[in-house]
Amino acid sequence: MEAGEKLRERLSKDEILVLPGIYDALTAKIAVSQGFDGLVMGGYAVSASRLGQPDVGYLSMTEMRDALRTITRAVDVPVVADGDTGYGNALCAQRTFREFEWAGAAAVLLEDQVWPKRCGHMAGKQVVDAELHAKKLRAVADAKLHDSTILIARTDSRAVYGIDAAIERGKLYLDSGADALFIEAPQSVEELEKIGKSFPDTILVANMIEGGRTPNLTDKDLQDMGFDIVFWPCTAVYAITKAFSDVMHALRTDGNTRNCEDKMMHFSDFNRFIGLDTYNALDEKYK
């Protein structure tokens, strides 16, 4: 079954799909080990982990594709990939979408920001003309390698023109071939409810960022509003940064890690988690 078919099959269920954000093979395996049946790879966390830089358009298409490939090879659940603006014009967006499909993406989102883009919850965003992005979406819809791969249209226009303009863009983008809609950074429960009521028959995506501009709601809250997918794109990178900082502080202060071993997975447990037992069994089989 193609990756997009797996995702569409999961979306056919009544329960909202919760997608934790991951940025490499290890974080992907951790999320899947906790029972999540899908993942999202966003530029925010990849930029932080690969470059140690903010999400302000530093990453190239090939860097994002390569990160995606390592993730999809490590896990067997659908992965949604962040295609940013498509990294150029309509033809560049076509190539981006295909490259991400070849790398194993079940869905790819494309946004309407001016390049260089920035995280959707940061100040200072700008968006391109709506028709320009609509043409890019039409080009990508025509270029899909697999009909099942989901094209998610993202608009960041709420921050620039308000929620009503963002909803109008959403309608245009769906008419232009998008399979799903992601209106980034609504700023109240009322705005989220308005989005849900405006698109009753659409695959709708919500985005929860700790400390971001959108209220931090539960998956049940969002499902009741009409959303089908919710991203938690930054949770992993925030949690890991805090946890590792705490342990490094202890090591620096105490000279060892004895006082914080309860915050870590130990040698044998980690080896088991990462698959060493499976490797050893195969190694023995083929000796």
104-142 residue pLDDT tens:
999 999 999 998 888 878 788 899 999 999 999 999 999
pLDDT of residue 53: 95
Per domain, the residue ranges of the chain are 3-240, 259-287
Residue range 185-214: average pLDDT?
96
pLDDT of residue 274: 96
pLDDT of residue 222: 98
Whole-angstrom CA distances from 180 to 125, 170, 177 are 22, 9, 9
pLDDT of residue 119: 82
252-286 residue pLDDT tens:
999 999 999 999 999 999 999 999 999 999 999 99
236 within 8 A of 31, measured Cβ to Cβ: yes
What one-character DSSP code corresponds to residue 114?
P
Name the 3-class secondary structure at 43. helix
Q: What is the pTM of this model?
A: 0.95
213 within 8 A of 185, measured Cβ to Cβ: yes
The residues pairing with 109 across neighbouring beta strands, listed in sequence order, are: 82, 152
Supply φ then ψ for residue 148, to 5 degrees: -75, -20
Q: Is 283 exposed, middle or buried (0-12, 13-18, 19+ CB in 10 A)?
A: exposed
25 within 8 A of 70, measured Cβ to Cβ: yes
What one-character DSSP code corresponds to residue 156?
-
Q: Is 268 exposed, middle or buried (0-12, 13-18, 19+ CB in 10 A)?
A: exposed
226: alpha, beta or left? (left if phi > 0; alpha if psi -120 to 50): left
Q: Give the separation between CA 200 and CA 193, rounded to whole angstroms.
A: 11
Query: Within 10 Å of residue 112's Cβ, how many Cβ atoms?
Result: 27
51 within 8 A of 44, measured Cβ to Cβ: no
pLDDT of residue 78: 98
What one-character DSSP code corresponds to residue 261?
G
Q: Does domain 3-240 fall into CATH 3.20.20.60?
A: yes
20-72 residue pLDDT tens:
999 999 999 999 999 999 999 999 999 999 999 999 999 999 999 999 999 99
